[in-house]
Chain A
Amino acid sequence: MKVKLRVVVLLALAASLAPATDYIKGNSFGNPSAPVMIEIFSDFQCPACKLFHDTEFPRLMKEYVAPGKVYVINRYFPLEMHPYGMKAAEVVAAAAQLGKYEQASEIAFAKQQEWGTSGKIEETVDNVLTSAEQQKLKGLLKAPAVQQTIAHDVTEGKAVPVPGTPTLVITYRLKRYTVGGREVLKYEWIKAMLDDILSK
């Protein structure tokens, strides 16, 4: 009886740590069965997130995601201090519904400084969409699928709690480690940490 109870508790815990697939649309990379899962909570208007996206993320993808060691989910976590952060999340999440998450997030970070002052994030992302997709995007911005995805990710982030962006939540064998937000997020330390936990 005690063994059964332990099994049930462990399964429930594992289920709570597994990503909710309903809220993932193009914003995940790699093999979902990889031993390590990394949830990256970021804000498209956050300069540190742009730096992480431009410098650390490609290395993470090449060295850990591509070989199947890590499964990455990019979580939407717009900060209140960024006036266009939420709008950017909506636009990218809407583009994700059209299968254009990568292109939208790429251009959002690339042109961050421009739309960060003008607020023209939708016009920025339109550059990677066809005319038909641009029309669909307008209709999707306030769609439940988009709003609920962002709300879900924000709720998840607050539950951690995410101290700032970018923050990585690394899950390995039911153990969760929160990295970043306040600490220096250098790839060398992320790499050292992943190598350490993967060696166990």
Chain B
Amino acid sequence: MTSSRNRVLHITTVVLRVLVGLVFVYAAYVKLRDPWALFAMSIDSYGILPLRWVEFVARALPWFEMLLGVWLISGYFQRVATGTGTLLILGFIGAMAWAKLHGKQIDCGCFGPGEAIGPWSIIRDASIGAALLFVTVMSYWKPRKAERAYGA
């Protein structure tokens, strides 16, 4: 029973990690196929970053998302990868919440232009964040000695 529970947890962790990785890769692809200025406009609309940072983030963030996605899928250095992803998603959710609190009716910019910030985008990103948090916790969790001894 215990070994099957661990197996289920392990499989769930892997599936979630790969799925989230694919989401990051897709998000990066959608931004990279369009002119970077489109993403820059979305970032600028939040009104959080100074102008000189907007271009840098617009150009660099999609590549970072792409690398992070591949990194998550690969499974290497999971603690760092999943922790980084969690922090990134928390940053995105924070920015969207900030925009909503300030009454800004702007695009999310998450998967390219055309998607307004709303309950769906926040729930979606929160779900990704929850999945990443789970995977991060699982990357630190070690089965107890007894379970390991009995091949759990």
Contacts and interface: CB of A to CB of B under 8 A. Distances in A.
- Give the interface size bracket for A toward B: 10 to 19
- What secondary structure prevails in chain A residues at the interface with B? mixed
Contacts, number: 47
A177 B35 contact: yes
B125 interface: no
B114 interface: yes
A182 B35 contact: no
B107 interface: yes
B59 to A, nearest CB: 10
Given A183-B106, A183-B107, A184-B44, A189 B37 contact: yes
Q: Which of under 10, 10 to 19, 20 to 34, or 35 or more describes the interface residues of B?
A: 10 to 19
Contact of B45 (A183, A190, A193): A183
A48 B38 CA distance: 19
B86 interface: no
B44 A192 contact: no
Given A178-B114, A182-B106, A182-B107, A193 B38 contact: yes
Interface in B97-152: 105-107, 113-114, 116
Given A182-B105, A183-B44, A184-B45, A192 B37 contact: yes
Interface of A: 163, 177-179, 182-186, 189-190, 192-193, 196-197
